[in-house]
Structure 1
Amino acid sequence: MHLTIGDHSPRHIRRIVRAYLHRWAMTELTDAAELAVTELLANVVRHVPGRSCGVLILRVTNGVRVEVTDTDPRLPEVQEPDRLAEHGRGLMLVEALTDRWGVAPNPPGKTVWFECDAQPGDGTSVRRGVHQ
């Protein structure tokens, strides 16, 4: 999907992510994937001129991969915000909720991605984030 997003767009994208995960029988990934994509889209809303981006949702061998591509060449970094700061925790959440995430230059901008692995059995395994 190629989009120009507004403040309420993440809600609609969450529904799309949820629909794909249900279709692919990976409902245990819904909460983590929805929250992680919301954080990536919030960064587009806050930092990308024109708020233009692409969203790609891929079924991979062991789960799901979501990519958000935008036109801003600045690469995001995990920050340790002041405890009273209103912003700056998004990538910390993505790191905590997903199994892997990363960022790659994609001229003229970048692609930020994450992957959530489907868990064998009941899906109660603890997730850990790995920045690659």
Structure 2
Amino acid sequence: MSPVTAQDYARTVRTAPQALREVRLEVARYLGSQGLEKITDDVLLIVTELLSNVYKHVHDKESLVRIIVRGASCRISVSDSSWDTPSVRTPSLENLDGRGMFLVSQLDPHWMVEITNHGKRIVCSVPVPGLTVRSGLGQW
């Protein structure tokens, strides 16, 4: 993974409803400062769903949120201490849970799980409109 630069966003958070609100505000400000307002809704949806999963399913509730923009791609990752991996479920009227990763997969069908020494990292990418990746750029 790329080192964090001054233009990247990184925050360790103990996931709770109030912290989720703060992270959403910070991420929106970060994207605005980078001129990326067009992707704010998609990035916030992904961050919200991934952090909600940490809150619901990870014992210690700790996570690291990173947003890295390189070339024409915005990479969003959320790391936590659990090795349990999320799955995409088909939404149904009978089951009110399980829509989060379905929504994430609609925004990035190629999202992935990276297993780490301390748990996992969920990684998603959102294209940055109006930019194209040239040879040698956009590499992680």
Q: Same fold (TM over 0.5)?
A: yes
**Conserved? CA contact 1:48–1:72, under 8 Å:** yes
Counterpart residue number, 1:12: 22
Matching residue of 2:90: 80
Structure 2 counterpart of 1:51, one-letter code: K
Match in the other structure for 2:68: 58
Q: Within 5 Å, which residues of 2 pair with 1:1-132?
A: 1-98=11-108, 100-120=110-130
SS where residue 49 of structure 1 aligns?
coil
What is the distance in 1 between the residues matched to 2:104 and 2:122?
11
Aligned-pair Cα RMSD in Å = 1.6
How far did residue 100 of structure 1 move? 4.1
Query: What is the deviation of 1:77?
Result: 1.2
> Shift of the alpha carbon at 1:83?
2.1
After superposition, the C-alpha distances for 1:52-97 in whole angstroms (9 at most, x for unaligned) are 1111111121131111000000111111243232210101101112
> TM (normalized to structure 2)?
0.79
% identical equivalent positions: 29
The structural deviation recorded for 1:15 is 1.2
Return the alpha-carbon distance in structure 1 between the equivalents of residues 92 and 117 of structure 2.
Answer: 32
Shift in Å at residue 9 of structure 1?
A: 2.0
Q: Which runs of 4+ in 1 moved over 6 A?
A: none
Compared with structure 1, are the counterparts of its residues 51 and 78 closer, same or farther at alpha carbon in structure 2 (3 Å cutoff)? same
Query: Is the 1:100–1:116 contact (alpha carbons within 8 Å) kept by the matching residues of 2?
Result: no
Alpha-carbon distance in 2 for matches of 1:100, 1:20: 24
Q: Where does structure 2 lack aligned partners over 5 or more consecutive residues? A: 1-10, 132-140
SS in 2 for 1:68: strand
> TM-score, length-normalised on structure 1?
0.84
Counterpart contact for 1:5–1:53, Cα < 8 Å: yes
Number of aligned residues: 121
